[in-house]
Amino acid sequence: MRKKVVLITGGSSGLGKYIAESLATKGYRVFAGMRSKKKILLLSKQWRNKSVQPIQLNITSDKDCFDAVEKIVKKEGGIDVLVNNAGYALVGSFENHTSQDFQDILNVNTVGSFRMIKAVFPFMKKRKDGKIINITSLNGVLALPSFAMYCSSKFALEALGLSLKHEVAKYNIHITNLAPGAIQSPDHSQKKEMPHKPAREKFLILKILMPFLTYKKITEKIISIINNSNPPVEVIMGADSLITTSLQRVLPRSVWDKMVSYVWSK
């Protein structure tokens, strides 16, 4: 039986690397996109006997995106799953950032995913089969202070997936936006410097009510999406995501705004 071929962006470290290695152990043929040639050399040795291969991929380059996809298709015959994982956060007051900062984060978090979808689409369309998973964020469905540019990039990615779903469905291509809440890396290396005291540190009860997501849980959800013949267009993960999005839906806007202001100013 042919192994399903998965291409994941941002595969050199963190969540992307974990997903790539985990999918390889589950029987998938994985290509992990990354910019750094040094990382490619290092991981080529590390993954020599595994079903995962690093590949040169800078998602801010149209050429890199199309070249990487063509290389994989030529070698494997096609790509079954694209996981748009690459991205970064930009936090802090908007007045401390430039318009170039804003353009840069959009270019990676949103346009980069668009480039990748454009690159794989002709091959998935021809085969009339494929899955595209956009890893968005709680910040793609909920706008919070100090995250204006990051939220904007992830909101745009959410909208892209929700819109394109209808355009590609006739070719049996499925798009899913996976929106996780706060994630804790296994070695705690992904902790971000915040311009404010995190809500979990201000209100200790939130540590109990809203535990961090793990790489393992997110990977398990990705596998379930891949194996689902008709996956949902949007998956919200994490107690923090589920609680806050539910509150925003049911509370009057004025109450919600006061609550957010209280948490972020306290």
Pair 101, 90: CB distance under 8 Å: yes
Question: Could you confirm whether 88 is annotated as catalytic?
Answer: no
- Beta pairing, strands 173-180 & 183-184: unpaired
Give the DSSP letter of residue 229.
S
Which helix (H) or strand (E) is 132 found in, with range? strand 130-135
- pLDDT higher than threshold 80 for residue 135: yes
Whole-number Å distance between alpha carbons of 88 and 109: 7
196 band by pLDDT with thresholds 50, 70 and 90:
low
Per-residue confidence (pLDDT) for residue 194, from 0 to 100: 57
Pair 139, 186: CB distance under 8 Å: no
Per-residue confidence (pLDDT) for residue 164, from 0 to 100: 97
pTM equals 0.91
pLDDT tens, residue by residue, 145-173: 889 999 999 999 999 999 999 999 999 99
Pair 258, 200: CB distance under 8 Å: no
Architecture, CATH, for domain 5-193+211-238: 3-Layer(aba) Sandwich (3.40)
Please provide the average confidence, as pLDDT, over all residues in the chain: 91
Sequence ranges of the domains in the chain: 5-193+211-238
Per-residue confidence (pLDDT) for residue 1, from 0 to 100: 66
Instruction: Report the percent of the chain where pLDDT is more than 90.
Output: 74
| Closest residue by Cα to residue 126 from 163, 80, 191, 88 | 80
Whole-number Å distance between alpha carbons of 238 and 217: 9
Per-residue confidence (pLDDT) for residue 186, from 0 to 100: 77
**Residue spans of alpha helices (H) in the chain:** 14-25, 37-46, 62-76, 99-106, 112-127, 148-168, 199-202, 205-209, 215-227, 239-250, 253-265
Structure tokens at 95: 């007045």
| Closest residue by Cα to residue 5 from 72, 86, 74 | 72
pLDDT tens, residue by residue, 50-109: 889 999 999 999 999 999 999 999 999 999 999 999 999 998 889 999 999 999 999 999
Catalytic residue among 150, 171, 215, 262: 150
Per-residue confidence (pLDDT) for residue 265, from 0 to 100: 75
243 band by pLDDT with thresholds 50, 70 and 90:
confident
Structure tokens at 248: 């925003």
What is the pLDDT averaged over residues 136-144? 91
| Closest residue by Cα to residue 10 from 45, 39, 46, 51 | 39
